[in-house]
Amino acid sequence: MTAADDQTIAAFRVLHGRVVDAVEHAVHGKRPVVELVVAALFSGGHVLLEDVPGTGKTTLARALAAALGGTSRRIQFTPDLLPADVTGTTVLDPATGQVAFRPGPVFTHVLLADEINRAAAKTQSSMLEVMAERQVTADGVAHPVPEPFLVVATQNPVDLDGTYRLPEAQLDRFLVRVSLGYPDVEHELEVLRPGTAAGDVRQVPAVTTPQEVAGFRQALTAVHVADPLLRYVRALGEATRTDARTRLGASTRALRALVGAAQVRAASEGRHYVVPSDVQRLAHAVLDHRVVLTREAVLEGLSTTDVVAAALEGVDVPRPAAA
């Protein structure tokens, strides 16, 4: 891997700032969350927005799609939603008498999967292939989705009646899980003010193109990650796996996603190398939702955040040291 050149990094830093600013135009006061979502976009991951209704999850997803300048679709997941409603299906064309594939809503740049946990497990699983492989296979034919492809799924952690919990395999497909939370007083007042642009996705400008995003995705993989940092990331994952409170720790895919997100964050700060704080700031967003607690730990009221926090606190961070 060759190191990312300074011009690419500088250009990305500018673009990153523009995208974040554009999204924040509609979503006020949530810049750290927006940065995480944008990091997922540029590192090729997907985003799981988990929060109570009315905190701006859908607005964030739509604003990101608008800033990206590409196509966006929305699927409102319901219990009777079928897999074909998501991925598409093969139909007989009466005009030609041929069987043709009719693409589903996943064939877009930004897919908003609203309340994804309300769909049945079968429908949720239909998302696995497209999220991981970025293609839909129908009748033995692979149909690739456009690049970049970003799934922004939302789920409500409170109202769980009639929902189907996302399987671990699908959770692992999401690069980050973020929560918006309620805005602070100042920004909430701004949102409440009549005539404000907050929440109005139509006013979000398109500041980039899908092609430009796809290009940076490739370039950012060259951001340097030193060996001590790779070992640090692995030690974090090992700590979550050996923690007696966990039934399932962070997977290798999770750690790879953490490294990728850290590369994007480093580039967004104008660096062509990753530093430990990049990893630390992204660890909770990337790892929390991939760790599964034991039954005893759940009964004790612990959360996966506690486990990841313990790993961050216990594992020695690499520091510059003279030999």
Partner 1 sequence: MSTSTSTSASTAGGVGAQAGRPPGTGPGPAVTSWAVALLLLAALPLSAAFDSPLVLGPLAGAVVVPFAVVALARRLRLPAWAAASATLSLVLVVGASFARSASPALTGTGAGTGMTTVAAWRTTPFGEAAGPVVDAVARLLTAPRPAPVEHVVPVAMLTAVVALAVALAVARGSRARLAPLVGAVVLYGAAQLLTAGAADAGPVAAACVVVAAAGWLLLDGEAVRRGTPEAVLGRAAPGSRVRWRAGGVAGLVVVALVGAAGAGAATAVRGAPYEPREHVTPPRVPMSAAHPVAELARWHAEPDVPLLRVRGQHPGYLSWVTLPDFDGARWAAHLDLRPVGAVVEPALPPGAARGEARAEVELLGLAGASGPPGVWLPSVGHPVSTTAPGALSDADTGVLALAGPDARLPEGLVYELRAHVDVSDVGHAAAAGVPAGEEVARYLELPRLPADLRAYAQAVVEGAPSRLEQAMLLAEEVRTGRELAHDAVSGSSYARVRELLFAEAADGGQVGTSEQFTTAFAVLGRAVGLPTRVVLGFEVPPAEGEEPVVVHGADARMWAEVYFAGPGWVRFDPTPGAATATGLAPDLAAQQVGDVPQDGEDGPAQDLDPAEGGADEDPEASGAPLDESAPGAAGRWAGALAALLGVALLAVPAGLAVARAGRRRRLRTAGVVGAWQHVADAMLLRQGLPAPSRTAPRIADDVARLVDSATGAAAATLARAAEAAAFAPGPASPEGSTWSQAAQVSRALRRSAPWRRRITWWVDPRPLRRR
The footprint of partner 1 (CB under 8 A) covers 3, 224, 226-229, 231-232, 234-235, 238-239, 242-246, 271-277, 280, 296-297, 300-303, 306-307, 309-323
- By C-beta, is 101 or 273 nearer to partner 1? 273
Pairing of strands 47-50, 176-178: parallel
- DSSP codes joined into one string, 49-72: EE--TTSSHHHHHHHHHHHHTS-E
- By C-beta, is 158 or 323 nearer to partner 1? 323
Determine contact, residues 263/220, Cβ cutoff 8 Å.
yes
Shortest distance, position 318 Cβ to partner 1, whole Å: 5
- By C-beta, is 193 or 319 nearer to partner 1? 319
Shortest distance, position 307 Cβ to partner 1, whole Å: 7
Shortest distance, position 295 Cβ to partner 1, whole Å: 12
Shortest distance, position 118 Cβ to partner 1, whole Å: 29
Cα–Cα distance for residue pair 36/49, rounded to 1 Å = 11
- By C-beta, is 152 or 308 nearer to partner 1? 308
- By C-beta, is 149 or 232 nearer to partner 1? 232
Determine contact, residues 119/81, Cβ cutoff 8 Å.
yes
Shortest distance, position 39 Cβ to partner 1, whole Å: 19
Cα–Cα distance for residue pair 44/131, rounded to 1 Å = 10
Host H or E run for residue 151: strand 150-155
Q: Which residues of 202-218 are buried (b: 16+ CB within 10 A; e: fewer)?
A: eebeebbebebbbbbbe
Nearest-5° Cα angle at 162, 158 to 165: 70
- By C-beta, is 139 or 316 nearer to partner 1? 316
Shortest distance, position 291 Cβ to partner 1, whole Å: 11
Cα–Cα distance for residue pair 150/40, rounded to 1 Å = 8
Shortest distance, position 241 Cβ to partner 1, whole Å: 9
For residue 139, give every residue at least 6 positions away whose Cβ sits within 8 Å of its Cβ, in sequence order, or none.
Answer: 90, 99, 101
Determine contact, residues 297/245, Cβ cutoff 8 Å.
yes
- By C-beta, is 5 or 133 nearer to partner 1? 5
- By C-beta, is 52 or 312 nearer to partner 1? 312
* Residue 317: CB atoms within 10 Å: 16
Host H or E run for residue 231: helix 227-242
Shortest distance, position 124 Cβ to partner 1, whole Å: 30
